[in-house]
């Protein structure tokens, strides 16, 4: 299926390019800028994932009160609300720009092999477009269930903590993670996310020009650490809730 989509996109782009021959040069120049943007947005999203993971791990405390208060703070604080706009723009920009860069790579296929570099030594580099599609599908389901349903459709019960009423986000997550298919779907998505980050993290540094032999081993090591910490950290949550006494 990916092959047919790729062929379709390539033919459309070829028609566009033959109509506007001037695009040939400007395309490769601007693709460098786009790579910077994809890299910066990607690193920003990784920072978000660490914060998100830290808050989600509060779910594993004996009571969900701390998680509920933290989630409520994150959902209502004005600074965090501004950050949310930046976050969603970051996700949007990262997806759109990486798609454009991917299509440009396909179009410049003979050149691409000459530009082969150390970040492509990651075994997951060939599957970035595949893993990103899976992460995108995960995000759509995730945001519908925990973001749109609770924030815009009011499908969430309230809980009173220290005399104040909070949306019981903890209960919502725990209820979801008692369903086997949800747990399996989430765990598979986190494994794919780990693969995506393993290449994505080191590739971001490469795009930003940090491909010096002195730093490469450290960046590769960090890339492996970041992908394992995030994937395993997120996987622990549904597993602990499903098998634990929550
Ligand atoms: C066990 C894992 C996870 C749990 C339990 C979880 C839970 C939640 C909850 C409860 C919310 C709503 C927070 C609120 O605004 O009140 C949320 C929002 C969100 N989640 Fe997750 N999440 C998990 C993993 C992920 C992953 C791996 C990603 C990205 C790939 C992600 C991306 C987002 C985004 C973009 C939002 C909306 C922004 C926000 O509210 O902070 N989540 N998640």
Query: pLDDT digit string (tens) for 89-98?
Result: 999 999 998 8
- The span from the CA of 107 to the CA of 86, in Å, is 31
CB 242 within 8 A of CB 180: yes
Residue nearest to atom 26 of ligand 1 (CA): 49
Mutate to test the pocket of ligand 1, among 147, 157, 190, 232 (most ligand atoms within 8 A of CB): 147
Give the number of other Cβ atoms within 10 Å of residue 87's Cβ: 17
Question: How far is residue 155 from each of residues 60, 148, 168, measured CA to CA in Å?
Answer: 23, 9, 10
Give mean pLDDT, residues 174-188: 97
> Out of 2.115.10.20, 1.20.1300.10, 3.20.20.140, 3.40.50.300, which CATH number does the structure's domain 2-243 have?
1.20.1300.10
3-state secondary structure of 166: strand
Kindly tell me if the per-residue pLDDT of 219 is higher than 90. Answer: yes
Tell me the mean pLDDT in the region 174-182.
97
Pocket of ligand 1 (CB under 6 A): 49, 52, 56, 71, 74-75, 84, 87, 135, 139, 142-143, 146-147, 169, 173, 193, 234, 237-238
Task: Calculate how far, in angstroms, residue 161's C-alpha sits from the geometric centre of ligand 1.
Answer: 22
Report the pLDDT value the prediction gives residue 141, as an integer from 0 to 100. 96
If you measure from the C-alpha of residue 83 to the centroid of ligand 1, how many angstroms do you get, rounded to a whole number? 14
Per-residue pLDDT band at 124 (split at 50, 70, 90): confident
Q: How far is the CA of 48 from the centre of ligand 1 (A)?
A: 10
Helix or strand run (H / E) with residue 161: strand 158-161
Q: Indicate if the pLDDT at residue 74 is higher than 90.
A: no
pLDDT more than 90, % of the chain: 54
Structure-token pair, residue 93: 């920009």
Q: What is the largest CA-CA distance in the chain?
A: 68
Distance CA 209, CA 212 (A): 8
What separation in Å is there between the alpha carbon of 139 and the centre of ligand 1? 9
pTM of the predicted protein model: 0.84
CA pair distance 184, 239, nearest whole angstrom: 9
At residue 35 the predicted structure's pLDDT band, cuts being 50, 70 and 90, is: confident
Mean pLDDT computed over every residue of the chain? 84
Q: Tell me which of 136-140, 142-146, 154-158 is least confident.
A: 154-158
């Amino acid at each position: 299926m990916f092959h047919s989509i790729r062929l379709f996109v390539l033919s459309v782009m070829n028609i566009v390019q033959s109509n506007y021959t001037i695009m040939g040069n400007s395309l490769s120049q601007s693709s460098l800028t786009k790579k910077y943007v994809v890299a910066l947005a990607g690193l920003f999203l990784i920072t978000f994932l660490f914060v998100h993971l830290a808050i989600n791990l509060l779910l594993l405390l004996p009571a969900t009160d701390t998680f509920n208060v933290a989630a409520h703070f994150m959902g209502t604080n004005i600074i965090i609300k501004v950050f949310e706009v930046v976050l969603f723009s970051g996700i949007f920009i990262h997806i759109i720009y990486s798609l454009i860069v991917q299509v440009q790579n396909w179009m410049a296929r003979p050149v691409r092999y000459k530009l082969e570099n150390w970040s492509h030594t990651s075994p997951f580099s060939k599957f970035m477009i595949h893993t990103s599609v899976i992460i995108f599908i995960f995000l759509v389901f995730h945001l519908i269930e925990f973001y749109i349903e609770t924030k815009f459709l009011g499908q969430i019960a309230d809980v009173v903590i220290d005399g104040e009423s909070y949306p019981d986000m903890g209960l919502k997550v725990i209820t979801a993670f008692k369903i086997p298919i949800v747990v399996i779907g989430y765990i598979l998505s986190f494994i794919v996310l780990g693969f995506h980050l393993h290449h994505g993290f080191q590739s971001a540094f490469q795009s930003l020009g940090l491909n010096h032999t002195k730093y490469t081993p450290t960046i590769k090591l960090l890339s492996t650490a970041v992908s394992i910490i995030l994937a395993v950290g997120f996987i622990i949550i549904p597993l602990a809730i499903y098998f634990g006494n929550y």
